[in-house]
Amino acid sequence: MTDESRSREPSSAAGLTPEAAGLLETHFHMRLSREWDQRFEKLFRQGGVAKWYSGVGSEATTVASAACLRRDDALLTIHRDSGAILRYYASCEDLVPGLLPVENRHGREKSRELLYRLACQLLGRSDGFTAGYDRSFHYAHLDEETGLKHIGMISHMGAMIPVAAGVALAFRQQGSDRVALNYIGDGGTSTGEFHEGLNMAAVLDAPLVLVILNNRYAFSTPTSEQYRAESLATRAEGYGIEGIRIDGNDPLAVSAAVSGAVERARGGGGPTLIEAMLGRMRGHSEGDDSLGILDEAEKEKYESEDPVACLEASLVEQGIATTEHIEKVRGICAELVLEIVDEAAASAAPKLAGGERPVFARATGSPGKGPLARGLAGSAEETSYLEAISLALGDAMEEDPEVFLMGQDIAAFGGAFKVTRGLLEEFGPGRVLNTPIAEAGMIGIASGAALLGKRPVVEMQFSDFVSCGFNPLVNVAARFHYRTGLPVPLVIRLPSGGGVGAGPFHSQSLEATFLHVPGLKVVVPAWPEDAYSLLREAIRDPNPVLFFEHKYLYRRVKASLAPASIDIGAGVEAGARIVRPGDGVSVFTWGWMVHRAVAAAEALGEEGISVEVVDLRVLAPLDERTVMESVGRTGRALVVHEAQLTGGFGGEIAARIAEGAFEALDAPVRRLAYPDHPVPFNKELEAVCLPDEESIAASLRELAAW
């Protein structure tokens, strides 16, 4: 079809009111969305796509709600929101110039490109937003040129609500009036992250509009088996926010509710929860037979309420459009979708080069030259490990206004260990945020804010509690750069380890849990100077960094923060540190165990055994070169760690040494670690289990004598 044939003005267009013109554009995008879904349904049946989650029946809600956004607002979608994406990416005027008297959004060339890339994404082609590395709507597109901020989903339902709240929080912190619009299905409202994200958005007055697409079923489970509330909108009252239930098949009702919520958010009124009631016209996904749970009467009812057909009939009845115009739009949309999808299907497949796509974002620009320990550097006064962390936080906040802190009791109280004491008074409540007890919410919100250029630092009261935030950490923050190419500059501070009689839920060393997750950097400092410099570097890093700080060392280890001892600018990948040279046996360790290994090495030195102690400091990415060079010098290796033996990172280090330095070894690689059981509460019981100077020395003697 030529541009000329597409641009003929329908007879009903002349003299339209703005409201009528808006309805015609809504109709165009609803029909475009319907044709888009039906094209991919057909492709699924033909084997052209492996999976398809159809948005048929939700077009009135998705299109009309997205139309309430400005192009610099943020859209966060899930798997049935193609209507919202199509409306957000392009206006009717972009795609079919002259068809309707409506405004141009981005320009025809740009909008056409976006829809082509979307089709490529859905087909797994190289021109897709993730170049074939992730599926369907699992992508993000942040475009400085157009202002678009579209962030897609992960498969875990509810997980993106805290992320959307974080995006909205970033808007508020930037002093703008932009808003974030997010969608969730009725099934996803049963997740913990729905509660944590919405509750924290309310507490933080985040400009978030959350729309529930309630089609009455989660896969095959009816709402009667999901919740007992009269409606999902009534939950809003529990969060102290506005809640509205609307007919999701009526684009005018949707527009009124969402535009009101958007304006309320722009004015500082906080989030709104909107429940849009829909009929189920498709199953959970194509081909899964879940639509078969509906009886015939229910199917007929929903078909009779088809939002596209009902709007078309209404437009003709009101005299806003002619039957000819409706048919013309149907033909234009069908042909436009066919052209775009066929072009995408004919495009290049991804290059078959596994592992080529980077897991970590690269730092850009030169290292900052911000404050250095704010007046303490070079003084004779010694600084504790805890004070060094506190100084690093303050210096990072002074250096970069995008840095802010989140955590439980970190503001006026100063945190469970008083690490953040005084920072609220210095930097104000906008940058030192108390949060509810909601680890998943905190990490999800921090991830969303990081995507918008903020640099959040989240404090867990104890590292043990990070398990409650496992999903947003390993499935959102860790994978985001690999999936989207976007940086996620986020730091999670984790007070960890034992030795203080805190029992099994406050003493764990969990670093190995996360070393199996690509995309996370893991830092474990043992000395005040490293705690300071590595935290500064972690905050500057464009990737999520887990910063394990040992509670036992907080006030027991001190050092002078002299400029020569603080390495700012080397990055988190600064590498391992040889804290005691030797040529007889190498011991590799991190955290508290570094100090015990040094004590054991010094004792063995008096026996004539030369021990090299290597403080790994950064476990991911691991400085393997320093490890291999040390083994090359000594021929013997002992790995010591506080975490349990089985599955501990010592096993990985031992395997790499066996593979990469086998010919240099004069003895088997040994490991010394905590036994495979939880940490006991009684200090004496705990001490028996922990590697100490004597047990480390005994292992080193055995290796030296081999």
Asked if 506 is an active-site residue, the reply is yes
Higher pLDDT, 410 or 499: 410
| 428 contacts: CB under 8 Å, gap ≥ 6 | none
Question: CA 591 to CA 481: how far, in whole Å?
Answer: 28
Same domain, 603 and 561: no
Cβ contact 27:49 at 8 Å = no
Higher pLDDT, 15 or 481: 481
Same domain, 510 and 393: yes
Where is the domain boundary, 525, 543, 574? Answer: 574
Where is the domain boundary, 554, 574, 594? Answer: 574
| 435 contacts: CB under 8 Å, gap ≥ 6 | 200, 203, 406, 407, 408, 441, 442
pLDDT tops 60 at residue 9? no
Same domain, 570 and 597: no
Question: CA 330 to CA 34: how far, in whole Å?
Answer: 9
Higher pLDDT, 644 or 6: 644
Q: Does the pTM exceed 0.75?
A: yes
For range 460-481, the mean pLDDT: 94
Q: How confident is the model at residue 686 (pLDDT cuts 50, 70, 90)?
A: confident
**What's the pLDDT at 371?**
64
Tokens 């229910």, located at residue: 298
Instruction: Give me the catalytic one of 29, 106, 506, 641.
Output: 506
Same domain, 323 and 437: no
Q: Is residue 368 included in any domain, yes or no?
A: no
Query: In sequence order, which ranges of 541-608 are alpha helices (DSSP H)?
Result: 592-605
Where is the domain boundary, 574, 599, 623? Answer: 574
Same domain, 146 and 252: yes
Q: Is residue 598 included in any domain, yes or no?
A: yes
Same domain, 409 and 435: yes
**What's the pLDDT at 369?**
59
Same domain, 129 and 276: yes
**What's the pLDDT at 355?**
64
| DSSP-derived 3-state class of residue 287 | coil
**What's the pLDDT at 528?**
95
CATH number of the domain at 485, please: 3.40.50.970
Question: CA 24 to CA 20: how far, in whole Å?
Answer: 6
- CA dist 130 → 183, 473, 477, 484, 558 (Å): 21, 20, 16, 6, 47
Range in 135-144, 277-286, 475-484, 680-689 with the lowest mean pLDDT? 680-689
- Give the chain's mean pLDDT: 92
Same domain, 324 and 400: no
CATH number of the domain at 623, please: 3.40.50.920
Question: CA 267 to CA 647: how far, in whole Å?
Answer: 51
Question: CA 566 to CA 578: how far, in whole Å?
Answer: 15
Sign, Cα dihedral of 378, 383, 387, 388: positive
Higher pLDDT, 144 or 269: 269
Which H, E and C letters describe 535-555, residue by residue? HHHHHHCCCCEEEEEEHHHCC
Same domain, 589 and 486: no
Question: CA 613 to CA 250: how far, in whole Å?
Answer: 70
Q: Is residue 352 included in any domain, yes or no?
A: no
Q: Is residue 226 included in any domain, yes or no?
A: yes
Q: Is residue 385 included in any domain, yes or no?
A: yes
Question: CA 602 to CA 43: how far, in whole Å?
Answer: 70
For range 606-622, the mean pLDDT: 97
Same domain, 409 and 535: yes
Q: Where in the sequence is the domain holding 201, given as residue range(s)?
A: 3-343
Same domain, 450 and 471: yes
Cβ contact 175:185 at 8 Å = no
Q: Is residue 325 included in any domain, yes or no?
A: yes
**Structural domain tally of the chain?**
3
For range 278-284, the mean pLDDT: 92
Q: Is residue 92 included in any domain, yes or no?
A: yes
Say how many residues make up the chain.
706
Q: Is residue 227 included in any domain, yes or no?
A: yes
pLDDT digits (tens, 9 = 90+) for 313-339: 999 999 999 999 999 999 999 999 999
Higher pLDDT, 527 or 687: 527
Sign, Cα dihedral of 443, 466, 460, 516: negative
**What's the pLDDT at 8?**
38
Same domain, 625 and 503: no
| pLDDT more than 70, % of the chain | 95
Cβ contact 190:214 at 8 Å = no
